[in-house]
Amino acid sequence: MSAARLGLTAIAIAVLLSGVAASGGVIGKTERYGGLKPAAVALLREDQRLPWEAYLTLSAAAHKKDVDTLEAERRGLKALPAPESDSLHDHSMPLDRQAQWYGSEEARHIADGIVSFQTPAGGWGKNQDFTKGPRQKGQMWVVFEQAARSQPQDYPNPAAVHWHYVGTIDNDATTTQLHFLAKVIAASDAANTASWRASFLKGLDYLFAAELPCGGWPQIWPLEGGYSDALTFNNNAFTNTVTLMNEIASDTSGLYGFVPAKAKADAAAAVKRARAVALASQVMTAGKRTVWGQQHDPLTLKPTGARNFEPVMLSATDSADLLVFLMSLPDPSKEEAVAIHDGIAWLKAAAITDIAWEKHGDSRVLVRKAGAGTMWARLYDPVTMKPVFGDSDKTIHDDVNEISAERRQGYSWYNTGPAKALKRYEVWAKEHPAKARP
């Protein structure tokens, strides 16, 4: 039995009992995940411990290479180039253009920018504008986020925020760069694609190195410490990466003919491990599978807390994305089929009607509104199935209108994202009907 199936009630009870009295709707305090620690790894049996120790060593070496490379570039420079500050959420790399566009000068210019900003470890930062031209010598590889300066409590090392997200799969980073490079390579004369192919394969090796020994990926690699070390389902980090691996392994699109056979086999193995950890980490309650948290402890596979306003809860949005991926598999196992049926049943039970956001002054509030469409809360208590909401001071609330206006505005507490999983299920279930259980 997986660790995620054990201790679920304990998680919920700890959340419910750790807070102050229920006045004001405060029901607990967020417990942030402290990161993948050598001390925790040391407690494992030797056969389990060795892969994790090797993983931590590899991560530390990759971070040192990043740091040493930048320091060497900057040695002797009279002035350091400013880091990029724009944040386009990776919109500079469109993936929905006609195939011939990727052979255009514009697309090749973007591809060259992508190559120039690849970190020595092989990944990319997030929210970068690659239309502005290549990276300058001594320039940081990633954008310097305003959030890192304004919300230092959310970052594991506020004194080194300029190293934050130096290699990440958050906000579609790294996987988008690889998708874009593959499209440009496919649309170009093979004789002119050497630098793009080398960059792609280096990026693929980065994802292989970043894969956790349990399967799946952390949000940031090399590891930074803190919540980003966790097995991350949030923001499509897991599904984006495993989907790319699956595409490379099968190569049904024909985009990955330049990828060596061994790398394709390694991608297939990564998909197999990712599928296994998805099943092992799906939270069980009352003997039935439910869904997943936004991130899970990679050693215990239990859901974990992240930022101050992201408590240990079940995530409807991220679970829906993972269920869509599982339903895309042509060969779901019996256990995966059960995981899908039970996950969809949970999403159906979690649906909320007759509520809507309304503008009140400079903020918004949630109101009762008859006839409003179906929505889901982002986070749910794993036992009570009630929506929960975190605030910047780590307090957990049972009413979204009780949290600060800044957090109410700055997070998608209610959304319609899970609807896509229910729609996909209507088709999938016809081919994979639920079977009665004893």
For 331, other C-beta atoms within 10 Å of its C-beta total: 6
Cα separation, 140 vs 71, in Å, equals 10
The active-site residue, picked from 135, 307, 407, 424, is 307
The active-site residue, picked from 127, 171, 234, 240, is 171
| Nearby residues of 290 by Cβ (< 8 Å), 6 or more positions away | 282, 283, 284, 314, 342, 343, 346, 382
DSSP string, 294-310: SEE-TTT--B-B-STT-
Of 384, 424, 394, 392, nearest to 410 by C-alpha is: 392
CB-count burial class (<10 Å; 0-12, 13-18, 19+) for 18: middle
Each residue of 55-89: b (16+ CB within 10 Å) or e? Answer: bbebbeebbeebeeebeebeeeeeeeeeebeebee
Helix (H) or strand (E) holding 193: none
Of 179, 59, 81, 63, nearest to 120 by C-alpha is: 63
Each residue of 283-314: b (16+ CB within 10 Å) or e? Answer: bbbeeebbbbbbbbbbbbbbbbbbbbbbbbbb
Give yes or no for a cis peptide into 81 (omega within 30° of 0).
Answer: no
Each residue of 377-407: b (16+ CB within 10 Å) or e? Answer: bbbbbbbeeebbbbbbebbbbbebeebeeeb
> Does 171 participate in catalysis according to the annotation?
yes
Count the helix, strand and coil residues of the chain and give each as a percent rounded to the nearest 5: 45, 10, 40
For 205, other C-beta atoms within 10 Å of its C-beta total: 14
Residue with tokens 């995966």: 336
Q: Are 418 and 347 in contact (CB under 8 A)?
A: yes
What is the signed CA dihedral for 34, 39, 42, 43, rounded to 10 degrees? -70
Active site residues: 171, 307
